[in-house]
Amino acid sequence: MNKKVEVQNLGIKDYKEAWDYQEKLFKDTLDLKIKNRREEQDEPTQNYLLFVEHPHVYTLGKSGDASNLLVSEAELKAKNATFYKINRGGDITYHGPGQIVGYPILDLDNFFTDIHKYLRLLEETVILTLAEYGLKSERSPGETGVWHDVGTPFARKICAMGVRASRWVTMHGFALNVNADLGYFDNIIPCGIKGKAVTSLNVELGKKEIDLDEVQEKLMKHFQELFEAELIQE
């Protein structure tokens, strides 16, 4: 089993470009797994962890409801935002500057074949990272992602998640609000959940801006420990 994970920092990249790149890595891994099975060989598959910031964009998962986007195409253009229907699970979400988006493209045959466990470990990676900033975040029963003050009128989501998997190969991932412009969430019903707010790390800490690189380093540390992986940076 290959537990090495190549970390790639894509910088600020258009959503469609990053999605196409994910699809290429995803397909390459699937093709190798199929070839291994067909030819009875055991060439190791690769694992990746992509980090990226996107320009303003709304994405709707395959089971999502398009009516959860509350603005017209013209209004999207006025806000310099784009919209895509995509092939992950979950409903609608927002990506934009000041948000750390992580796309693990893993062959779970290298780690464990359990999608439920995979999602819980991604959540735990974020929970442990936020704990380093003195914040108590948690899961919300039946709602994927990471939240604050679950079960209270002040419940708010700080990290959204949505993944796709085929033959135990994953793509898509998580979006952690660090210095995000929360006003953009007013244009959607986030994740299709009415009456729940969103928040960002800088808001929770009462600071103008948090160092994105510092947060990413903490995410990588906890990801490596939880997945018992070896992270390799370009």
By annotation, the residues acting in catalysis are 191
Round to whole Å and give the CA distance between 231 and 142.
Answer: 31
Annotated binding-site ranges: 88-95, 160-162, 173-175
Q: Are 56 and 184 in contact (CB under 8 A)?
A: yes
CA 14 distance to own-chain centroid: 15
Annotated binding-site ranges for substrate: 88-95, 160-162, 173-175
φ/ψ of residue 225, rounded to 5: -70, -45
Burial (CB count <10 Å: 0-12, 13-18, 19+), residue 213: exposed
What's the Cα-to-Cα distance from 194 to each of 125, 155, 191, 209, rounded to whole Å?
Answer: 26, 12, 9, 28
Would you say the C-alpha torsion 74, 79, 85, 90 has a positive or negative sign?
negative
